[in-house]
Amino acid sequence: MAFAALAVFVAALPAFISDVKAQQFAYVGIYLIALLGLNILTGYTGQISLGHGAFMAIGGYTTVILMVGNEQFGGSITGGVRDVWTIPAAGLVAGLVGLAFGLPALRLSGLYLALATFAVAVAMPSAIKRFDSFTGGGTGVNLFGKPELTGGLTGVDLLGRHLSFNLWLYYLCWSIALVAFAVAWLVLRGRTGRAFRAVRDSETAAISSGISLARYKTLAFGISAAYAGVAGSLFAIANTYVNPDTFPVLLSIELLIGIVVGGLGRLSGLVFGAYVIAFFRLYWAQGEDLGSLLPHRVIEETHKPGGPAIVYGVFLILLMFVLPSGVAGLFRSIGAALTRRR
Amino acid sequence: MRKPAVIVLAAAVLAALAALPGALASSSARSSDPGITSTTILLGGTAPLTGPAAAYASVARGAKAYFDYVNSKGGVAHRKIQYKYLDDGYNPALTVQDVRQLVEQDKVFSIFNTLGTEVNLSVRDYLNANKVPQLFAASGATTFGRDTAQYPWTIGFQPSYQAEGFLLGQFLAKTKKKGKVAVLFQNDDYGKDLLGGLKRGLQRSKVKVVAAQPYDVTAADVSSQVAKLKASGANVFAIFATPKFAIQAYVFAGRLGWRPAVINNAVSAASNIMVLASEGGKNKTVNGTVALNFLKDPSDVRWKKDPGMKLYRSIMARFAKGANVADVYHVYGMAVAYETVSLFKRMGANPTRAGLIAKARSMNDPSNPFLLPGVAVKTGPGDGFPIQQGQLQRWTNGHWVPFGGIWTSKKL
Amino acid sequence: MPLAAFADVMQQIVSGLASGGIYASLALALVLIHRSTGVINFAQGEMATLCTYVAWTLTVNHGWNYWPAAVVTLVFAFFFGVATHRVVIRPVERGDVLRIVIVTIGLLIAINGFVTWEWSGEQRQLRSPFPSTTWDVGGVVISAQDIGTIAVSLGMVALLWLFFRFTKVGLALRAAAVNPEEARLVGIRVTWMLALGWGLAATLGAVAGMLTAPSLGLDPNMMAPVLIYAFAAAVLGGIDSPFGAVVGGLLVGVLVNVVSYLSQYRGFGWFTEELRLPLALAIILVVLLVRPSGLFGRPQVRRV
């Protein structure tokens, strides 16, 4: 099973990579969780969302406010909750908001839903700033060094081993990601999953087989939002700082890119999608090279500001031409080709 | 899932990892502190190379050009200074990742010249906890100079926005007698600090702020705010906005036929910005604008024969080909790089991180070639603000004309 | 005093109309693309920015006169739009919606990157084609720029209407958009019609950019907030109605300013500057939920 392979791989990886790289891989886990959720909504239920960065923001801020409270901005929440215990709360809050959003979203579909969710993503940073006595506004909130943050200063002692903060983040994010993966797989293979797929394939057929569109569309929104909330919570913990600009519109766009690149509706490609998002962030910052595969002049030119963006955009377009079913589609074709040979 | 797909998945992920440069743990020859070898010093930082603040990227480019120049002359104490800066697009989430990479993977000696208030805040606790210097944070937020006890490893450079607002307020109090001030300000710490400083500077005078209109960075245009400010009947217009919105403020004031006395803030008062705001000379609202300045402006004819600016121009020509020489942020970058080189000179053969910060907290340089004559870079016990001075200037006939002496802000 | 307050509100409305004119001009481009190809082009703003930089290069870098530069820019925009459609959009046009969305987003990212790469993020200015005359009407100042922007937007609507109604090409474009299969049967080269739609939209976008830059300032992200307002305008007016786009733009501009003006009074105190953009977004959400076809659009019927 792919799951077992992934689990083994994740457990073994830190032995081969540096501490810093482990932390960068933790982000792959975070994006994977968000993608798993978005995939349920868009891949399996056919509802486009360009706004899941907003649900990540809700999860992230839930975590932050529970951890350090908002009394210093004028709010009334004391905080003091340890970071790991805020994670389920973040998922719950984001999930509830997702359910609430799912109800009016029933009336929208296709491009209109994309536009509406895009509007939510754009509005979220401004809304966070507007309620600055609750959220800390544009100045942001820092978590590093706070007692509620596990391992920030000294690392963590777990099961007899000492983990640096980076490794702790890695294992935290990936263990939750693996759990999230398993849960998604279980949900999707059951009746709920079949109902989701029925809604995607033909709404009218679904209705005539007695599937309540309202129930399953709203449920899909709620579940995907909860996943995004958990991802957002881990995102805040890993960054140790939040402010409205840490959840920009581009984040929502990146998530959609991730599931399309990975392969809609297929869990296997999502790992790759998450990796692409994480990798391109670092590449954009010019902290990562495309490797020495390309001639020096080309690398120099693409490292001028704006260069990585051009590469990213062109890559996306070409990918849509060449691999319409994403990377998972490629895996399936290769896999099918290999099985056929036997 | 079918077995072949599993195999392919695993193989693909492994292949992708193998292509990851730097995937294997690297070890570097360490001396006492990271980032120092016998021939190099490695400084790291982030800058908004893309995104909404991309106009300020020149701060990093100017600094790099200066370091390249110093390196071409043999470096400092036989070491060449490498300055690696990454793009954070003004997104603190990227800053955090970039800085961690710089500190833990690239093992820089110090974080340097990172631009932006929130981006610096996002990494301040991490850097202080790990005892990595956060040198010359490019932000005028007061906290970087004031909170030295809590954050000893962090220091800013430019005059604080509160100090600037205060000095402008004092100027108005002295010269306007009975003025009514309307303020356009960005609704973040930068704008609010300037406004707060202005109000404090006006405290005991007959000049009052009668209207203050905020705008958000997501605004398309500030025409609505400027109209409201004009409607307040004020005769002084204070522009506490970043360049894009400052230019808009002038343009819309011009279109509304409003000709108040204008004061502008240093971030948006560079000659090239003022020229754009004057709309090719058509917009008369720019005339008579007063602003506080601490850098030498490349477009100022006063510095045509000035050795410091001659050096600036030659460095730009040699090490920053194609960059806009008139962009004053390059000058800022060189000014801060110059002081950094001084710090390394003072440390001599064995630079340490602790030594760097200690020297940065005891600077006394009255003659930085890129700062206005009379503006000193000075820190000491109880004084965490390297630059607290400026000179007032008035925009006359398309260029800045200074007046009065050097103003110094008292401790804030 | 009430008279002064009246003048203040009127001034806010005039400013709102002027800003709205800018939103309207970009909304026109969005509407044209959606109407002729069914695509929501997330890259419309960036395409407009690129064309504006072309105008800037010609006038400021090479010293051309404004009008020749403007004409060349519009011609460039047209071919740029056509090329974009043929090269980038056509391969994915008939796929599912999500692929097209990703492709236009990829375009957005790539074009924005290209503009930064080629011209850097420095702040620049483009001069306005309109004189700087202003008129003071009872305390309310109206500028030639304001009127000019609105007039150009309305003029473009009129031109579009004439084009669609009275020219063969326009008719063919409409046919290709409404029913491509039957249009092909009648001999219309549908693919070229779609490309033409993109070319025209890109030209409209270039006009929008050249109207926007003198007021908002020219930088790579100039159109980002304008795009959002333009979406609000297009949705409010009816995503297939050019006239609706202009009316929608003016309404959005005025509404935001009026609410902002009222925020000093009780009942509206909740409105602060951070909410300007979200207000426009709320318009999108409300319209989509209550009356998706907007003010002037035709309600869509879902066929089983």
Tens-digit pLDDT profile for residues A269-282: 888 899 989 988 88
Q: Using CA atoms, how far apart are residues C91 and C18, in angstroms rounded to an integer?
A: 39
Round the average pLDDT of chain A to a whole number and report it: 85
Residue numbers in B near C226 (CB within 8 A): 220
Q: Using CA atoms, how far apart are residues C216 and C302, in angstroms rounded to an integer?
A: 41
pLDDT at A298: 66
Q: Do B94 and A18 touch (CB under 8 A)?
A: no
pLDDT at B3: 47
Bridge partners of B377, per DSSP, are B365
Checking if the pLDDT of A120 tops 60, the result is yes
Q: Do C113 and A260 touch (CB under 8 A)?
A: no
pLDDT at B185: 97
Search chain C and give the residue with CA nearest A249.
Answer: C224
Q: Do B248 and C124 touch (CB under 8 A)?
A: no
Confidence band of A99 (pLDDT split at 50, 70, 90)? very high
Q: Using CA atoms, how far apart are residues A115 and B287, in angstroms rounded to an integer?
A: 45
- Which is nearest to B210 in space by CA: B195, B188, B189, B191? B195
Top-confidence range, A159-173, A290-304, B32-46, B332-346? B332-346
Confidence band of A260 (pLDDT split at 50, 70, 90)? confident
Search chain A and give the residue with CA nearest C302.
Answer: A204
Residue in B26, B98, B121 closest to A285 by CB: B98
Q: Do C288 and A110 touch (CB under 8 A)?
A: no
Confidence band of A265 (pLDDT split at 50, 70, 90)? low
For residue C279, what are the contacts with CB-CB under 8 A and spacing of at least 6?
C255, C256, C259, C271
C95 touches chain A (CB under 8 A): yes
3-class DSSP state for residue C93?
coil
Search chain C and give the residue with CA nearest B242.
Answer: C123
Residue numbers in B near A285 (CB within 8 A): 46, 86-88, 94, 97-98
Q: Where are the beta strands (DSSP E) in chain C?
A: 134-137, 140-143
pLDDT at C5: 82
- Listed by number, the residues of chain C in 122-161 with a beta carbon closer than 8 Å to a beta carbon of chain A are none
Q: Do C282 and A123 touch (CB under 8 A)?
A: yes
Helix pair angle (A83-105, A213-239), 10° resolution: 150
- The predicted model gives A294-303 an average pLDDT of 65
pLDDT at B6: 47
Q: Using CA atoms, how far apart are residues B410 and B389, in angstroms rounded to an integer?
A: 9
- Listed by number, the residues of chain A in 262-281 with a beta carbon closer than 8 Å to a beta carbon of chain C are 264
* Count of CB pairs separated by less than 8 Å, A with C: 136
Residue in C95, C116, C277 closest to A306 by CB: C116
CA–chain centroid gap for A326, Å, is 17
C191 touches chain B (CB under 8 A): no
CA dist C183 to C34, C70, C175, C192, C194, Å?
A: 18, 34, 6, 12, 12
Search chain B and give the residue with CA nearest C1.
Answer: B231
pLDDT at A190: 85
- The predicted model gives A244-259 an average pLDDT of 92
Q: Which chains touch B (3+ CB pairs under 8 A)?
A: A, C
Residue numbers in B near A335 (CB within 8 A): 2, 4-5, 7-8
Q: Where are the beta strands (DSSP E) in chain A?
A: 141-142, 156-158, 161-163, 241-242
Q: Which token pair is A217?
A: 């569309």
Q: Using CA atoms, how far apart are residues B255 and A261, in angstroms rounded to an integer?
A: 48
Q: Using CA atoms, how far apart are residues B278 and B287, in angstroms rounded to an integer?
A: 8
- Listed by number, the residues of chain C in 266-285 with a beta carbon closer than 8 Å to a beta carbon of chain B are 272-274, 276-277
Residue in A142, A153, A331 closest to B9 by CB: A331
Q: Which chains touch A (3+ CB pairs under 8 A)?
A: B, C
Q: Using CA atoms, how far apart are residues C84 and C79, in angstroms rounded to an integer?
A: 8
Chain B residues within 8 angstroms (CB to CB) of chain C: 49-52, 54-55, 57-58, 187, 214-216, 218-221, 223-225, 227-228, 230-231, 243-244, 247-248, 251-252, 254-257, 273, 276, 279-280, 282-283, 324, 327
With b for 16 or more beta-carbon neighbours within 10 A and e for fewer, the B286-304 pattern comes to beebbbbbbbbbbbbeebe
Tell me, what amino acid is at B229? L
Evaluate whether B56 touches B115 at the Cβ level (below 8 Å): yes
Search chain A and give the residue with CA nearest C92.
Answer: A321
Q: What is the pLDDT of residues B247-275, one digit of tens each?
A: 999 999 999 999 999 999 999 998 889 99
DSSP B178-204: S-EEEEEEESSHHHHHHHHHHHHHTTT
Specify the pTM: 0.90
∠ CA A32-C89-A110, nearest 5°, is: 55
Search chain C and give the residue with CA nearest A106.
Answer: C289
Question: Residues in chain C with pLDDT < 70?
Answer: 1-2, 300-304
Give chain A's radius of gyration (CA, Å). 20
∠ CA A119-A121-A122, nearest 5°, is: 65
Query: CA neighbours within 13 Å on the CB side: how many for A119?
Result: 28
Confidence band of A57 (pLDDT split at 50, 70, 90)? very high
Evaluate whether A105 touches A116 at the Cβ level (below 8 Å): yes
Q: Using CA atoms, how far apart are residues A148 and A153, in angstroms rounded to an integer?
A: 11
pLDDT at A295: 60
For residue B358, what are the contacts with CB-CB under 8 A and spacing of at least 6?
none
A114 touches chain C (CB under 8 A): yes
Q: Which token pair is B330?
A: 């390059």
Evaluate whether A282 touches A288 at the Cβ level (below 8 Å): yes
Question: Residues in chain B with pLDDT < 50?
Answer: 1-8, 10, 15-30, 412
Q: What is the pLDDT of residues A17-55, one digit of tens each?
A: 888 888 999 999 999 999 999 999 988 888 889 999 999
Residue in B8, B26, B92 closest to A335 by CB: B8
Q: Do C103 and A316 touch (CB under 8 A)?
A: yes
Search chain C and give the residue with CA nearest A131.
Answer: C274
Bridge partners of C160, per DSSP, are none
Q: What is the pLDDT of residues B303-332, one digit of tens each?
A: 999 999 999 999 999 999 888 899 999 999
Search chain A and give the residue with CA nearest B44.
Answer: A287
Query: In degrees to the nearest 10, what's the CA dihedral of B91, B95, B96, B97?
Result: 100
Checking if the pLDDT of A85 tops 50, the result is yes
Which of A239, A250, A310, A330 to mutate against chain B (most B CBs within 10 Å)? A239
DSSP letter (8 states) at residue B411: P
Measured between CA atoms, how close is A208 to chain B, in angstroms? 31
Phi, psi of C131 (to 5 degrees): -70, 165
Round the average pLDDT of chain B to a whole number and report it: 89
Q: Do A245 and B125 touch (CB under 8 A)?
A: no
Residue numbers in C near A110 (CB within 8 A): 97
Search chain C and give the residue with CA nearest A47.
Answer: C98
Q: Which token pair is A97?
A: 């908001």
C226 touches chain A (CB under 8 A): no
Evaluate whether C106 touches C207 at the Cβ level (below 8 Å): no
Q: Do C105 and A309 touch (CB under 8 A)?
A: no
Confidence band of A330 (pLDDT split at 50, 70, 90)? low
